[in-house]
Structure 1
Amino acid sequence: MQFKNFGILAFVVALCLGLHFDLPASQTPEQVCIRDFVSEGQLVVVNIATDGSVGDGQVLNLVIRDSVGNEHRRKKDLAGEVRVAFTAPSSAAFDVCLENQLQIKGRSLSRSVELDIESGSQARDWNMIQATEKLKPIEVELRRIEELTDEIVDELNYLKAREERLRDTNESTNRRVRNFSILVIVVLVSLGAWQINYLRNYFKAKHII
């Protein structure tokens, strides 16, 4: 857990993220953002619960957006419980950002925030699935474990592909640096040979040697 100068609190987890923190109100608030990463097509459910009420001297604003540029939810003057669900259009990081605007000068106010982020199989309503498909508890648990295993395999495949891509980039960079170094050496040697030849001809023309 780490607060950065620009007011971003970043967490990267695979499946589920839960936090409880106090967000002070300010007349010039900075956004506090929680970051998570999801794969393409994954279901994401964000649950936010806060204390206080509308009109208590502070305005809590929420925005959820991903690194691709999609905005999934924006809500002003948040109080109580909010549930946001969306399907990730692509593999990307997304931020859940909160800011607390102070409305009454000279007051020291804050909101207590409970934030829970679930994605993939953790975000699905398994009780509804059990009731709809009339599954036994053991069957539901096996389905949940199967989906969780598939997500882990997909994540490992993604990390493997990313490692291969980074490795190819690294090898390409090494080749370019090597070729550039060889070119620089050739140019320097050629320039040195030319200078030696020029100076020898010059001294001969002046009958110095």
Structure 2
Amino acid sequence: MSLNRILIFISTLSVVSALYFHIGETEKKCFIEEIPDETMVVGRYKVLIFDPQVNEYVPTTAGLGMHVEIKDHDSKVVLSRTYASEGRFTFTSASAGEHSICLHSNSSAWFASGQLRVHLDIQVGEHAVDYQQIQAKDKLSELQLRVRQLLDQVEQITKEQNYQRYREERFRATSISTNERVLWWSIFQTAILLITGFGQMRHLKSFFEAKKLV
């Protein structure tokens, strides 16, 4: 495999997801991101409001904002804050696992159409790092910056591999627990059938003896 293919493969391991969705006045939208531990996540968003006069989405009025709430896999709140109609939020995962990212408008009093369009871009890992800012701050050359990027990518790959091992161990534990429960349930069913059959035989024997058939 050539060096270029290796670099392309490494760069695809970091997560970047961009989308847009529509949201109502009291509606909340949540997204699930599987994030390794000690990984920085940056979310950028922009809110547009539907204008029936022009029949399209336009920039929102002043005062309208978005409330962002992020919880980890244990339902512990990582971030809960209200932002403006356009901006970004940043957090670093303390533990590996699924993180819930929920957004909803801070109020429904500012818009009458009842519908917003939210453009959301979530960047995880080294893609969340602004390397141009780092280059200007630390006065790095192009080669030094590229080495820095590769080191961050290797570190992110290590975190991803550790997280996959964690998922595999959790899946194996779940499979073992499920198999044990299925085994004990089968034994319980067999015991119930044996006890039921034995009781029926005793009842039939008593019935035949009472009728003096045996």
Fold shared, TM-score > 0.5 on shorter chain = yes
Matches for 1:82-101 after TM superposition, within 5 Å: 82-91=87-96, 92-99=98-105, 101=107
Please give the alpha-carbon distance, in whole angstroms, between the structure 1 residues aligned to 2:16 and 2:173: 32
Question: Using CA pairs below 8 Å that are at least 6 residues apart, which structure has the higher relative contact order?
Answer: 2
2:168 to 152, 156, 163: 163
Equivalent residue pairs, number: 188
**Structure 1, residues 9-30: CA drift from partner, whole Å, max 9, x if none?**
xxxx952222345x46x5x431
Q: CA RMSD in A?
A: 3.1
Please give the alpha-carbon distance, in whole angstroms, between the structure 1 residues aligned to 2:124 and 2:182: 42
Matches for 1:48-197 after TM superposition, within 5 Å: 48-50=45-47, 51-54=59-62, 59-67=64-72, 68-75=75-82, 78-79=84-85, 81-91=86-96, 92-99=98-105, 101-103=107-109, 107-108=112-113, 111-197=116-202
Please give the alpha-carbon distance, in whole angstroms, between the structure 2 residues aligned to 1:206 and 1:113: 81
Please give the alpha-carbon distance, in whole angstroms, between the structure 2 residues aligned to 1:102 and 1:41: 36
Cα drift, residue 96 of structure 1: 4.0
TM-score for the superposition, normalised by structure 2 = 0.69
Please give the alpha-carbon distance, in whole angstroms, between the structure 1 residues aligned to 2:67 and 2:131: 28
TM-score for the superposition, normalised by structure 1 = 0.70
Unaligned runs of 5+ in 1: 1-12
In 2, are the aligned partners of 1:36 and 1:93 still within 8 Å (CA)? Answer: yes
Distance 1:115 1:185, change over 3 A: closer
Distance 1:114 1:184, change over 3 A: closer
Unaligned runs of 5+ in 2: 1-12, 48-58
Q: Secondary structure at the match of 2:99?
A: strand
In 2, are the aligned partners of 1:65 and 1:96 still within 8 Å (CA)? Answer: yes
In 1, are the aligned partners of 2:35 and 2:99 still within 8 Å (CA)? Answer: yes
Distance 1:201 1:20, change over 3 A: closer
Aligned to 1:15: 15
In 2, are the aligned partners of 1:19 and 1:115 still within 8 Å (CA)? Answer: yes
Distance 1:173 1:140, change over 3 A: same
**Structure 1, residues 31-54: CA drift from partner, whole Å, max 9, x if none?**
233443322221222222342331
